[in-house]
Chain A
């Protein structure tokens, strides 16, 4: 089979997937309500840890802020210049210096400690890229960012991703899936939408074709840059069924602001599987062999 025919086959498969995707987009679950001047509601397990530390830091910071500002205002009123007055000649106080060096140091060390406990859990150093085993994940999904779209790939029935080759990239095959490869034939490809089952841990193998992007799910407290030439493994879950926005948080060009995607968290694994399978490529590849 010659090269152009191969391309044609993969084009047809991808186009079909895209059309099916357009039809399905109507079915996406409603977006959560957004209101109030605070963090959007959290729907993830990692987000609970992040929000707890956020709140702890907030308490520490507000206490320090209020204490400093009150002290400042009291001093400004109490020690304003009076006619004939003379300031008290004080050069400093070593005991105080030690105190206000040690107290912040201890406080900040404690915050570092709490942060580190969450960090090893959320972004473990082991298995953050190149296929090393990391966190336990129920589903593995590949996300390939490009100017200005989120390309999403599922491994299909065989559970294994086929290779991607930059030279196979075309308008119809934006991430260059090698459909000739036995593992690549059944890979499921979507653009601009992602489906996950609710409550299950998802591993995303994140990369980019062109420039830096950043995969941002505000409601799940997920953010990870996508770097061309690197496959970064990140993990998250969504604890409530519904539709959410995927945003790009790293400047990636003129349409950066519009690089949106939709994440749908399905209530059951079956519903998720069905939603993904609708994008499965038709087995044209076998007919042409």
Chain B
């Protein structure tokens, strides 16, 4: 019944190369577009991080290449150098976080891998709403440009630089601080929410309606499961952020008072002549974290799915406890909606609510533990092949344990009193989001690159990239635990101002050097990624001998993915089955009957 519909599209796609490569509705093209775009923003976010690290390691010293930074961030010194101003520092860490969260991790994991992999893994010809899919990508660019516009507006007008109020944008600071840069940031975040939503409803619809015959929900690979559940999270949580950000924008532009209490005095003047009141700053924090805590899981669950697929493939073993893994993803997602208050233990929220959120937060560690043990179980008695993708996946398991365990400290209401808003928290989020999500994304890139671009990446360079990244990332992020315990606050321009932080300065210097190294070693990845497009060996359809449907079609897959609709006979993890000669069994090949007593093969069902 869909045939005619698809045929029409097929002809549409032949219109010209602009429609084919730029404004394409093909999920594979959009997936690659998202991947390249988010890799570009990874560079932007990384450079912003290096500016932050430079200031923390060498406070008050001229920034290398500081003359290239926007005027609003730097001040010229007498000897011609450019030092970072406090407002420049605030803008750098705010934009580092915003870029990495909204324009790198979420769109890379969901937009790039979700788009490219999910429809093929379920045996669909494209996404359910191809034009909505294209809109999702093309909303991404205006939102990113507008969010970052503040950096570039100052030569034209007094925009006061880019947003410097933290990616959390807590009012009243985000309302009482003047500057067009903040409005730009708010509008950018608003728009990128629409981009996420357009993607999310598309994945949910596609996965529920367009699976190939025989592809029951419990025969889906875990990457698809993770994107499915993540999309449900996005659909439910993102509108709340949109509302919160809109209300802040109203408070700024239309002088409303959603988040402003009565009698606000800024710089010894009554703010707006006293015409504020009735608002509550804590309300914003509740709305913000109601989105932004599930967003943490939006940023890690797809990486967990990718890592599960990679671990199973290269251990040549079925995933350990497949159903438990699915339920753990669902458990994390479900609990993820009732833990947001752990960001607010010390905010002035009623301490009784702290108890509730502590208990729910503690228990979200349980499904995370289940996943970790199942990954170990997957490797147990396997035949582990050390490909670059596998190295990144293994390091994900190892490093996620650090990020998960450090979370227990801050889940405890009383330990959090001390470590809240210190670098201990910064260490935690970076172990989850860099050593977790980004390393998971690297695993995904090395794993699916042959499928995406039809060529193999260089394995030796891949492993070199892995080891250099693994070592330097620990050099950057592990000492953050130590300076955090020493009491170093987040978001401070100059830690040497404080007596209790001065003796920790050598660690700050060490982290800065490691961060620069971490940035530089990504050149190895860039060479491999772009070099392999030209010099890489041509990839076969199934270079890793994997089971899921994307490996049954050509590399790269043809228009509409499959020459004929695949029929699925079993789950995606039938590796090393004693019934087969090979150590893998594609999902379209029926399970052979046991040798002794032949039983009839059950007919594939669509449930």
Report A's interface with B, CB cutoff 8 A.
31, 34-40, 47, 49-50, 53-54, 57-58, 60-61, 64-65, 68-69, 71-72, 75-76, 79-82, 85-93, 96-97, 100-101, 104-105, 108-109, 111-112, 114-116, 118-120, 122-125, 128-129, 146-147, 166-167, 169-171, 174, 176, 209-212, 214, 216, 218-219, 221-230, 232, 245, 247-258, 260
B358 touches A75 (CB 8 A): no
B148 at interface by CB-CB < 8 Å: no
A119-B281 in contact given A68-B401, A108-B366, A166-B274 (Cβ < 8 Å)? no
Give CA–CA (A30, B370) in the complex, Å: 50
B415 close to A229 (CB less than 8 A): no
Sample 12 A-B pairs with CB under 8 A, ordered by A number: A34-B499, A68-B372, A72-B376, A72-B394, A79-B380, A81-B386, A88-B382, A89-B575, A91-B318, A92-B323, A104-B366, A125-B352
> Is there a chain A Cβ closer than 8 Å to B209's Cβ?
no
Give chain B nearest CB distance to A30 CB in angstroms: 10
Q: Is the CB of A64 within 8 A of B405?
A: yes
- Of all A-B residue pairs in the complex, the 4 with the closest CB atoms, nearest first, are A229-B261, A166-B263, A218-B487, A92-B321
CB within 8 Å for A210 and B317 given contacts A57-B415, A80-B384, A228-B264:
no
Residue B541 interfacial (CB < 8 Å): no
A169–B270 touching, CB < 8 Å? yes
What chain A residues lie within 8 Å of B170 (beta carbons)?
Answer: 211-212, 250-251
Residues from chain A with Cβ under 8 Å of B263 in the complex: 166, 228-229
C-alpha spacing A209/B322, complex, angstroms:
54
- Segment at the interface with A among B62-70, B199-207, B501-509, B516-524: B501-509
User: What's the nearest-Cβ distance from chain B to residue A15, in Å?
Assistant: 14
- Flag if B414 contacts A115 (CB, 8 Å): yes
Residues of chain B in range 178-213 having any CB-CB distance to chain A below 8 Å: none
Contact A251 B318 (CB under 8 A): no
Chain A residues contacting B422 (CB-CB under 8 Å) are 249
List of B residues within 8 angstroms of A81 by Cβ: 316, 383-386
The 8 Å CB contact of A89, one of B265, B386, B578, is B578
Is A211 a contact partner of B172 (Cβ separation < 8 A)? yes
Interface size class of B (residues with CB under 8 A): 35 or more
A sample of 16 more A-B contacts (CB under 8 A), given A118-B413, A118-B414, is A34-B501, A76-B379, A85-B383, A90-B377, A90-B380, A92-B323, A105-B366, A114-B412, A116-B355, A119-B351, A216-B489, A223-B420, A225-B347, A227-B347, A251-B490, A260-B497
Known pairs A50-B414, A61-B405; A40 contacts B172 (CB<8 A): no
Contacts of A85 in B (CB 8 A): 383
Q: Give bound CA distance, A100 to B328, whole Å.
A: 12
Set of chain A residues within 8 Å of B430, measured between Cβ atoms = none
Which listed residue (A37, A89, A97, A105) contacts B504, Cβ 8 A?
A: A37
Flag if B503 contacts A91 (CB, 8 Å). no
| Closest chain A residue, CB of each to CB of B368 | A104
Question: In the complex the two chains form, is A123's CB within 8 Å of B398's CB?
Answer: no
- State the Cβ distance, A231 to closest chain B Cβ, in Å: 10
User: Is B477 on the interface with A (CB-CB < 8 A)?
Assistant: no
A61, A87, A105, A227: the one contacting B363 at CB < 8 Å is A105
B358 pairs with A112, CB closer than 8 A: yes
Asked whether B420 lies within 8 Å of A249 as measured between CB atoms, the reply is: yes
Cα–Cα, bound, A221→B164 (Å): 28
In the bound complex, do residue A257 and residue B86 qualify as a contact, i.e. CB atoms below 8 Å apart?
yes
The residues of A that contact B420 with a CB separation of less than 8 Å are 223, 249
Contact assessment for A115 and B415 in the assembled complex, using a CB-CB cutoff below 8 Å: yes
CB pair A104 B414 closer than 8 Å: no
Contact bitstring B352-391, A, C-beta under 8 A = 1, else 0: 1011001100110110011011101101111111100000
**A88 B261 Cβ-Cβ under 8 A:** no
Is the Cβ of B87 less than 8 Å from the Cβ of A119? no
